[in-house]
A and B are shown apart, each in its own frame.
Chain A
Amino acid sequence: MPLNNRLKEYRARLGVNQQEMGELVGASRQTISQIERGDYSPSVTLALKIAKVCKVTVEDIFTYEEDQGNGGE
């Protein structure tokens, strides 16, 4: 996955579990779990909500890496 994230780390800083994090950003526990595992890339809206709750910028949590295989296409 070209989108890396540090959501687990920021969630730990907030001291909330996945269910509570989900409630804070209006998502389900599974979605938070999938984002943390890198199985799901959130929409811009959800990424912004997560960043707002964590009081950081989106780029602090999510980083995009160019895929070496296809040049990011």
Chain B
Amino acid sequence: MAENKMIEKKQRVKESEKKYFGKFIVMILISLFIGGFFGFFSMGFRYWILANVHVGEEIEALRNVMGLIVLGLYAAGILFLSIVALYNYAGAKKLSGTWDGENEAVIDTIERKLDIALLWNNLLMVFTLLFFALTIHASGILEQSEQIARKIVYLNMWPILAFFGGCAVLLVGIALNILISKVTVDLRKHLNPEKQGSVFDMKFDRKWEASSDEAERQIMYKAAYTAFRAANMACLILWTIAVVIQMFVNTGVFPVICICAIWLVLNVTYSRMVMKLQSHK
């Protein structure tokens, strides 16, 4: 009886593997076809762009103020993201004052608002770092410094303004990010006195994890695994985009190297941790 069950189970696994292998092969073939199609035509399209599209004088003039436009977007973005994060934090803080320590609906709302505040704060961090690089690029400061190096003395104030403005906005963005992290963590610690760790401590994540109990850790680990899967998919998509764009414009191999480096760290860390944990058992 048990033997029959085992045989049936093995048969089911085999059939299921066959089904998934078939799907996998179809996916690979479709991806190869799409990749080949875009790769082939993108090369032709690039030559067409180079031959037929010319940058007008108006666009050249726009480049002078492009740095300031990006700087404006940078500042506005930081302001918007900080306001949304602080708005959610303020809502949580206000509610925490009315919480009697028992009402679950109230504490659930507080926790959700804090989670949302933290999410917007994480977006603020990424936005701050991304737009700093974009502002430097758009400011034209690199071209200016190249000109100075070649002893072409033509000082344009716009790139300098955009560059130093970008530096100032970066500092403001980082300060706001730390401030929001601090107030949300402090409120969480106030609501959960067993929690430990300071946002100014370099080992904050470890201390926070150490002061979390089994259910909280399970949430962390599940969320981390979901993030791992999402990051793997994101790396695959970004690698595809980077390779395709490389054919249109000469972006070089650096973006692909960066993506693959992240991919490598992600998977090596994951695999090493799995091996380490398995060896303890």
Structural contact, A31 and B214, CB atoms closer than 8 A: yes
Interface size class of A (residues with CB under 8 A): 10 to 19
**Could you tell me how many residues of chain B have their Cβ less than 8 Å away from some Cβ of chain A?**
14
Structural contact, A40 and B192, CB atoms closer than 8 A: no
A31 to B212, CA, bound (A): 10
**CB closest residue in chain A, given B191:** A29
Does B60 reach chain A (CB closer than 8 Å)? no
Structural contact, A17 and B101, CB atoms closer than 8 A: yes
Structural contact, A30 and B102, CB atoms closer than 8 A: no
A30 to B101, CA, bound (A): 12
**CB closest residue in chain A, given B104:** A33
Does A19 reach chain B (CB closer than 8 Å)? yes
Structural contact, B213 and A28, CB atoms closer than 8 A: yes
Checking B102, B104, B218 against A40 with a beta-carbon cut-off of 8 angstroms, the contacting residue is: B218
Task: Provide the residues of chain A in CB contact with B101, threshold 8 Å.
Answer: 17-19
Task: Provide the residues of chain B in CB contact with A30, threshold 8 Å.
Answer: 111, 192, 215-216
Structural contact, B192 and A46, CB atoms closer than 8 A: no
For the complex of A and B, list the 10 residue pairs with the smallest distance between their C-beta atoms, beginning with the closest: A31-B215, A27-B213, A40-B215, A28-B213, A17-B102, A17-B101, A31-B213, A34-B215, A43-B214, A28-B192
* Interface residues of A, Cβ cutoff 8 Å to B: 17-19, 22-23, 26-31, 33-35, 40, 42-43, 46
7 CB contacts below 8 A, A to B, read: A22-B213, A27-B213, A27-B214, A28-B212, A28-B213, A42-B215, A46-B214
